[in-house]
Each structure stands twice: as structure tokens, then as C-alpha cells.
Amino acid sequence: MHQAGRVTFLGTGTSSGVPMIGCACEVCRSADPRDTRLRPSIYVDVPGHASILVDTTPDFRQQALTARIARIDAILFTHSHADHILGLDDIRRFNWIQGGPVACYAAPATWEDIRRSFHYAFDGVTRQGGGIPRIDRRDIDGPFLVNDVRVVPVPLWHGDAPILGFRFGSFAYLTDCNRLDDAAWGLVDGVETLIIDALRDKPHTTHFTVTEALDVISRIKPRRAYMTHMSHDLGHAATSARLPAGVELAYDGLVLDVSVDVE
């Protein structure tokens, strides 16, 4: 069954964010609010069904405040790079609001890194003073349900690292990748709204360039596509002007209406 949902881009920047610390380039000094990019994350809200956060960036607290996020039924982790996990401690507020741990989904290898980075949340030691994030660990080993919302993990290559994208019915979020293999192409078939990594124009070892992302888009043929994880090389207005119809740069705060699958 299809259900209407809303996707909010909480952050659309690369790991350093835009502006970059200490950079005086045109994009980093831009007055266009779409050139200010926090670290990459989305929030998928399906009213009456589930509220899902993808990744907890170092900017998570600010993102949650700006988007007025008051509930998180599940967090899905794409991979364990710092720009995707370091805000995890701030789920303490949601533990408090919701009265329990937050269900967090990740591949087993990602869990190993999260456990090391946030050892204090897993070691069982009771500490005086401040609380710890309370995490309900769920291993991803195939499609799963968050409440009744169906999520399909999509295997992606991020350089040599296997990571995960996620498909929710008619839309898919594929950040931090520079290659899809045969299994992935099949899983994104028929996607109508595609969110895809596009770091910059210059080739990179772990991210798609704008041209490479356009190649992926032309193969998947979504109705509309949005690029994310952009560096300061891509000014919003100038880059948007050279993209084909139906393809846009995402920006922080952009909200999309999408259709997700519920069971």
C-alpha cells in the first residue's frame, strides 16, 4: 500500500560542511542561503506511521531544532564515517521525550565502528552525571519495517567500502557512493524520486561527480532527481543553471512530498 510522506533535507553538504572553515571562496562567502550546507542527512516523516532519521551528523542537534523534529521512531545509518554518525549522542533528548531507547538500524560492520566511537553507550558501565544515548541495536540484513513503513537497503560502493542507501517505496536516498553494482540497479528500478551523491566536478575516489551522478540518473530515469553531499565547488545557482530538466541540487530545508510503501 502507498502512503504519503515528506522528506526533509536536514543537510546537503559534504563532510566539512559549506562554508568550510577558513575558506574565502565565492561559494563559502555566498549570501544565498542554499549555499549553506550542514552535513548530510534526511528526515522521512510518514504521519500516523513512522518518523525516520537517516544518519546522525555532527550537526544533528541544530538540524533537529531547525526542522522542529519532535519524534524519531528509527535511525538508519548509511555507514560509519564521522559526518554520518557523530551526532548520535544527541538522541538522548529523544530517549527522554519518548521514554526509551531509539531503534537504530545499521549493517554489522557499521555497528562495529559505532560501538568503538561511542564505547560509553555500549560498555554497560554506570557513570555518574550525564546520561548516555540509549540505542536499540538492529542489524540490517535485508528489507525491514519501521512500524509498518517498508525500507529496502540498497548496497552501494563508497570507494572500496560497501555502504547502504535506502529505498522507501517510490523514492531512494543514495548518498556517499561512486558505484552501483548489479544488485543495486535492480533495487532502484522504478524509483520516481532519486536523491544521489554529487560531490563536485573534479573526480573523487569515493563520491560521484555531477557528470557521474547524471549518468546514474539517466539510467534510473526517475521523474525527478536531487543531488546532495555537495562541496563548496558547487555553487547552488551556477550549478543549477547547467542541470537538465528534472534534476536539481538539494538544499538544507528543502521538503519533498513522496510516496512510501506501508504494509
Strand partners, 135: 102
CB of 64 to Zn ion, least distance (A): 19
CB of 25 to Zn ion, least distance (A): 3
Residues that bind Zn ion (CB under 5 A): 20, 23, 25, 28, 81, 83, 176, 232
Nearer to Zn ion by C-beta: 25 or 109?
25
Nearer to Zn ion by C-beta: 114 or 149?
114
Nearer to Zn ion by C-beta: 77 or 171?
77
Answer yes or no: are the C-beta atoms of 74 and 45 closer than 8 Å: no
The x, y and z cell numbers of residue 231, run together, are: 562541496
Nearer to Zn ion by C-beta: 101 or 155?
155
Nearer to Zn ion by C-beta: 8 or 57?
57
Tell me how far apart the alpha carbons of residues 240 and 217 are, in angstroms, rounded to a whole number: 15
Tell me how far apart the alpha carbons of residues 75 and 43 are, in angstroms, rounded to a whole number: 9
Nearer to Zn ion by C-beta: 149 or 194?
194
Nearer to Zn ion by C-beta: 28 or 152?
28
